Amino acid sequence: MLCYRDITFCPYYMDCEEGNDCPRALKPHIIGKAAEAGLDISAYLDRPECFAAIRKPTSGQPKGDEEWIRKSAK
């Protein structure tokens, strides 16, 4: 099968920590480019091994504020 850019793209990028920077993210512009070229897109059916779930903020604190989390757990 011939597919766009010969890459398997990831439709889960919006839920991934690295999604904005991932070269495999199946973003709308990729879908558009594939349509323009008349090519199918290969996409993961399940989350790939590289997937890193976005950590939800705790108690309204900004993501990545581990110091606040440690202090509040005491």
Domain ranges within the chain, ordered by starting residue: 3-73
Tell me which DSSP letter residue 48 carries.
Answer: -
Determine the Cα–Cα distance for residues 67 and 62; give it in Å rounded to an integer.
11
pLDDT tens digits for range 4-31: 999 999 999 999 999 999 999 999 999 9
pLDDT at 67: 52
Mean pLDDT of the chain, nearest integer = 82
Model confidence at 36: pLDDT above 90: yes
> For the CA atoms of 62, 66, 69, 74, what is the dihedral angle to 10 degrees?
-160
Model confidence at 64: pLDDT above 80: no
pLDDT tens digits for range 44-59: 999 999 999 987 655 5
With CA atoms as reference, report the closest residue to 9 among 42, 39, 46. Answer: 42
Count of residues in the chain: 74
pLDDT at 72: 44
